């Protein structure tokens, strides 16, 4: 039993460090509905894209990790209308299509729904 104690303690330690690491990062909603202006809403799988993109900064270097930040950033002029759509969303989808990999929609109606 004495020999087991350090192993048990280590296991508990590793469990809690892993747990608190996961808790420290707020990954936001699993899926969300984005404002696509007069073209209609965009249903967006946030967690699926986190797995594909791997780096949060691919999107969040342009707008913060807060609800509504996309519209707020357009309002305060940090980003232009359609900037994220063209330079992030469409860019990656087109690049992956070119590379012959699984890709997301590249046509308007593939993303926008009324
Ligand atoms: C492919 C683009 C993309 C990637 C990659 C991405 N996000 Fe997001 N994230 C968004 C969009 C779009 C929003 C919605 C902003 C808004 O509401 O205007 C958002 C919102 C959020 C929010 C706000 C809370 C919410 O649920 O509305 C959090 C927190 C967040 N992201 C965390 C992360 C973290 C952590 C990562 C990396 C592990 C990440 N995001 C990767 C696009 C992305
Ligand atoms: C890969 C998904 C995707 C595709 C494909 C796409 N859009 Fe978008 N669109 C978005 C997202 C996300 C936003 C909101 C962020 C932004 O404005 O960059 C948006 C925003 C818009 C807006 C509103 C901009 C504003 O703030 O007023 C218009 C208009 C628009 N798109 C038109 C189009 C048209 C036209 C096409 C086809 C040529 C198209 N979109 C294709 C994702 C997409
Ligand atoms: C790093 C690359 C990358 C970025 C950035 C990216 N996407 Fe995608 N997206 C993909 C890939 C790959 C798929 C296809 C996934 C699959 O079919 O398994 C996809 C699929 C989609 C789909 C279809 C989902 C479904 O249910 O079939 C939509 C809608 C979409 N993306 C919207 C967006 C929007 C909006 C943004 C920007 C906020 C964005 N994507 C940014 C790579 C990306």
Domain CATH code at residue 69: 3.90.10.10
Instruction: Please check whether residue 19 lies inside any domain of the structure.
Output: no
Instruction: Please check whether residue 91 lies inside any domain of the structure.
Output: yes
Interval between CA 11 and ligand 1 midpoint (Å): 32
Probe target for ligand 3 pocket from 39, 51, 93, with the most ligand atoms within 8 Å of CB: 93
Rounded to an integer, the average pLDDT of 84-110 is 98
Instruction: Please check whether residue 46 lies inside any domain of the structure.
Output: yes
| 30-67 per-position pLDDT tens digit | 999 999 999 999 999 999 999 999 999 999 999 999 99
Probe target for ligand 3 pocket from 49, 57, 86, with the most ligand atoms within 8 Å of CB: 49
Interval between CA 69 and ligand 1 midpoint (Å): 9
From the centroid of its chain, how far is CA 77? 22
Instruction: Please check whether residue 50 lies inside any domain of the structure.
Output: yes
Domain count, the chain: 1
**What is the pTM assigned to this prediction?**
0.90
88 CB neighbour count, 10 Å cutoff: 19
> What is residue 78's DSSP assignment?
S
Domain membership of residue 109 as a residue range: 30-113
């Amino acid at each position: 039993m004495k020999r087991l104690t350090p192993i048990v303690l280590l296991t508990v330690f590793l469990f809690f460090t892993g747990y608190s690491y996961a808790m420290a990062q707020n990954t936001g909603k699993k899926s969300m509905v984005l404002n696509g202006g007069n073209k209609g809403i965009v249903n967006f799988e946030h967690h699926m894209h986190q797995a594909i993109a791997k780096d949060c900064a691919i999107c969040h270097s342009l707008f913060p990790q807060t609800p509504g930040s996309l519209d707020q950033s357009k309002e305060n002029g940090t980003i232009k209308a359609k900037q994220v759509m063209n330079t992030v969303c469409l860019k990656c989808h087109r690049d992956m299509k070119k590379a012959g990999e699984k890709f997301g929609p590249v046509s308007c109606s593939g993303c926008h729904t009324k």
